[in-house]
Amino acid sequence: MRTLFGENILSPSPTPRPQHNPFELLFHSTASAASSNASTHSSPNQHGWLTQHLQAQQQAERDAADQTTRQPAQHVKRKGHPKLLFMGLRKSGKSSVRKVVFEKLSPADTLFLEPTPRMERATLQSFVPIETAEIPPNAPVTAPEFDHRAAFGNAGAVIWVVDVQDEYLNAIGDLIQTAVFLAENYPRVNFEVFIHKTDGLSEEYNYEAFREVRQRVQDELSDLGHGDRSVSYHQTSIFDYSIFEAMSKVVQRLLPQLPAMEALLNKLCSTCRIQKAYLFDTSSKIYVATDTSPTFLRDYEVCSDYVDVIVDIKQIYGWQKHERQSQDTTSQDDSVGESLVTYDRSGDTYIYAREIDE
């Protein structure tokens, strides 16, 4: 049924908005009232937008102030050669490791070493020069007055030495503090833990101590929010080859050429049917690369002893090639040292050594 009336016939019509009279004179009080009335009738969305804008500006200022006051030291990209930084408690064996591996000191002579009163630096001159430094245990490493940039700015790895024959649980607190500091300020520095002085102890005790130290460190780092921090653990002793094998793995992680060298050694082993290939630094007995086949400590020990023999013989019968001789027409193969020896009674196992230079 159609009617002549609309649907909203019973609803009241909206009140019209008051129109401003352009001919009306406004005095000061009237103008202020009008302005206050206009501000009162302003849109609530406009008020909300202004409030949010003001709060955003204040939050940005607070964030900038916090970032300025709490900004960690920027990590400097490592330049030059690998740098190893030794840390640990007093009498943990830091100096002994440095002297035996990088300065060819006899392990028996390390018993008479004096404590390290200040930071000591040394460089192993080889085809892969390695810089080493030792921080004394009383140095306030995490304190603001310590020169962190000079110590950790170009460091490749921090090696924390734990004496497993002592109350090693006391060293975990300082170890965790240093690991957290490095994770927050220098995340690119590798953190290595040497569970040291494992000689003379039973295998069961060494395994339990190794497991306990690793578990405690991982739990503490997880509780502090750094569970994803990568930490490597090694069982070491200066009276066997474990210290050289652990140091080799530390140095390998700092070499960007490692994948290429491993690929070349894999190709060499597959082509020449070699069981295992090592690329040794003869001055320190550190192998900077090896192929991807399983590594056995017995093979490394034999090769390391053979390197010692070669170095000793070279010091007696070797010669240094002068720069004038480099332009000689003599074949280059005449100056390359190589040897072949067997260490098996059956004569079926051989060690082939070939010395290369720059």
pTM above 0.95, yes or no: no
Q: Rank 59-68, 169-178, 195-204, 266-275 by mean pLDDT and report only the highest.
A: 266-275
CB distance 128 to 251 below 8 Å: yes
Rounded (10°) angle between helices 297-317 and 242-252: 90
**Any idea where the domains of the chain sit in the sequence?**
83-252, 258-317+336-354
The rounded distance, in Å, linking the Cα atoms of 98 and 161 is 11
The rounded distance, in Å, linking the Cα atoms of 160 and 186 is 16
Both tokens of residue 231?
Answer: 């930490």
Give the DSSP H/E element, type plus range, for residue 247: helix 242-252
At 342, which amino acid appears? T
Both tokens of residue 110?
Answer: 């390390």
How many other CB atoms sit within 10 Å of the CB of residue 284? 22
Q: How many residues does the chain have?
A: 358
The rounded distance, in Å, linking the Cα atoms of 189 and 183 is 8
Question: CATH number of the domain at 258-317+336-354, out of 1.10.1040.10, 3.40.50.300, 3.20.20.140, 3.30.450.190?
Answer: 3.30.450.190
The predicted structure's pLDDT at residue 14: 54
The rounded distance, in Å, linking the Cα atoms of 103 and 105 is 6
- Across residues 219-247, what is the average pLDDT? 91
Angle (CA) 102 108 109, round 5°: 65
pLDDT tens-digit map of 249-300: 999 999 988 999 999 999 999 999 898 999 998 888 899 999 999 888 888 8
The rounded distance, in Å, linking the Cα atoms of 184 and 168 is 25
348 vs 279, more confident? 279
Both tokens of residue 89?
Answer: 């408690």
Question: Which runs of E-coded beta strand occur in the chain?
Answer: 83-88, 120-124, 130-134, 157-163, 190-196, 231-235, 278-281, 286-290, 338-342, 350-354
Query: Regarding beta strands 130-134 and 120-124, do their DSSP bridges make them parallel or antiparallel, or are they unpaired?
Result: antiparallel
How is domain 83-252 classified at the CATH fold level? Rossmann fold (3.40.50)
357 vs 73, more confident? 357
Residue 4 pLDDT level (bands cut at 50, 70, 90): very low
The predicted structure's pLDDT at residue 30: 44
